[in-house]
Amino acid sequence: MQKELEKVKRELKIRNFSQKTIKSYVYGLKEYFTFKQSGLEKLDEENIKNFLLYAEEKAISVQTRNLYLNAIKFYYRDVAKSFTPIQIRIAKRNKFLPVVLSRNEIKKIIEVTTNNKHKLLLSLAYGSGLRVSEIINLKIQDLDLLELTIHIRQAKGKKDRITIMPEKLKIDLQNLIAGKDKNDYIFSSERGGKLTERTAQKVFANSLKKANIKKNATFHSLRHSFATHLLENGVDVRYVQELLGHQNIRTTQIYTQVTNPRLKKIKSPL
């Protein structure tokens, strides 16, 4: 098994897949190989179906099961060099609307955050629509304080993009980065280096609890709220797509379901 997993890892690295995808694919294949036990290089479509059914019965999410299938397809197509296509379609994903915080809730979350660096972290994540992985990796050279823009480097899908920076955070950011090198992280940890994703998520969770907000929100809800509030302000969905770095506009259009003003104007008959 380990030999085959190393082959997969090497092939993914050669093709410049992200470290996160490599880790996910290797994990998924390890689960499948453990289930299959023998004859790993021999494609057995019935066995793959049985594995996916086994995963479903273990209540493994649709997203994870689809990742397993993609990893298995990659292995047989690009590593084992099987010429037989796998005729299994990905599972239909459940549709959930994103958890969006109101402007007032965002304000409360920021206000109850007493640590100035943490307050700025949450404010910038919301005000620029950043993923948690993006904000912890921000370096001083990525900020353009004159143009009020942020250069997000090699984000999801290994793509760069430019997003906006709130003008009201300009002075706080200037104070935070004063005297630092351009290659330093903006939100460095107390031990040096960047903050971990877990730390940033914990900062948000603590502030959410302190603000007494009962929504099932996560750090990513700041990004959802950024997109929704821009659409409410009348910004064209195509510009929101560009700021978020979505490859497909359909991903961005889900926010139009959250912010549909016509639905909100309808009064209940009760």
Sheet holding 161-164, edge to edge: 143-144, 149-152, 161-164
Name every residue whose Cβ is closer than 8 Å to that of residue 210 and which is 6 or more positions away in sequence.
Answer: 112, 113
SS (H, E, C) 154-183: CCCCCCCEEEECCHHHHHHHHHHHCCCCCC
What is the distance between the alpha carbons of residues 98 and 124, in angstroms, rounded to a whole number? 20
CB-based contact 36:47 (threshold 8 Å): yes
C-alpha span between 106 and 100 (Å, rounded): 10
Cα 94 versus chain centre, distance: 18
User: Which contacts of 253-257 are long-range, i.e. CB under 8 A and separated by 24 or more positions?
Assistant: 254/97, 254/98, 255/98, 255/100, 255/224, 255/227, 255/228, 255/231, 256/231, 257/97
CA atoms within 13 A on the CB side of 153: 9
**Residues with catalytic function:** 131, 156, 220, 223, 246, 255
Q: Residue type for 158, please?
A: K
